[in-house]
Every structure is written in structure tokens, then in C-alpha cells.
Amino acid sequence: MEVSRHWRLNQQRYALVGEVCPSCGVKLFPPRDVCLECEAPAKELYTFTGLGEVYSYTTIYDPPAGFEHNAPYMVALIKLEEGPLVTAQLTDVDFSDVAIGMPVEMVTRKLRADGDEGMIVYGYKFRPMMAEAVMP
């Protein structure tokens, strides 16, 4: 990935920055030009909490090119507190402990490196919510 594209995606990758529709209030991630609910322009930035729960998940045993070193790994649909579903890799978890409805939190982790001496690209993944952060 070229450096300029990487920098354009920084807010989405490191802080879960999306948009909120000023017309109907729907929160969008990733950012979109038009609200998915009411089709109004959605340009107001919104930073998500990064908290959510596992909506669905699967284990990847045969990964796409460039991700072979990660296999096997888990990918999940995460339902964020604010509503949107986000696809992300699960990290810091034993596969047997993953369950639908499990509380998770966003963390920043290494996604890949462009060659041995290239740029290291970080992004969001989700892990089980830490015990002290679990809300009653």
C-alpha cells in the first residue's frame, strides 16, 4: 500500500472514526458520502468507543496471499455499541473461548509489513474486554 493511502486511512484504522448523519443520527463506519438510512449527506465525523460484542465469527485456515503467517486466525463481525457492524480479526483470545455475544474492545495491532524493510501498517483488531473494563 502506498504511503499516501495509508495516511488517508489513519483515523479509521487507529481510532475508529466514522461519521454521523446530521439528518437522522445514524452512525456510519467506515465513513460514507451518503447515509445508508435516509440518503442525506453524512459529513460530520464521529469517533466510536471501540466497545462492542461478537455478532458472528469464523476461523481462517486458508488465508489470502500475504497473510499466510497469521493462519489460523479468527475474524468476527463486531456489533459496536453505537450500532454498526465491523469486520475485524480477533486477537489475544483462545479460539475455544470465543462466543457470540462476547464483549470485546478495539485495540491497535500490526496488520502487516511491506517487505522486510518496508512500512509497518497497524490497524484495529478486537480482543475480549478486560475484566476491569466490563460494565455491569
Q: Note the pLDDT tens digit of each residue in 52-96.
A: 999 999 999 998 887 788 889 999 999 999 999 999 999 999 999
* Whether residue 6 has pLDDT greater than 90: no
Banded pLDDT at 1 (limits 50, 70, 90): very low
- Whole-model pTM: value is 0.78
**Dihedral-angle region of residue 43 (phi above 0 means left; psi in -120 to 50 means alpha; beta otherwise):** alpha
Most distant CA pair in the chain: distance in Å?
A: 47
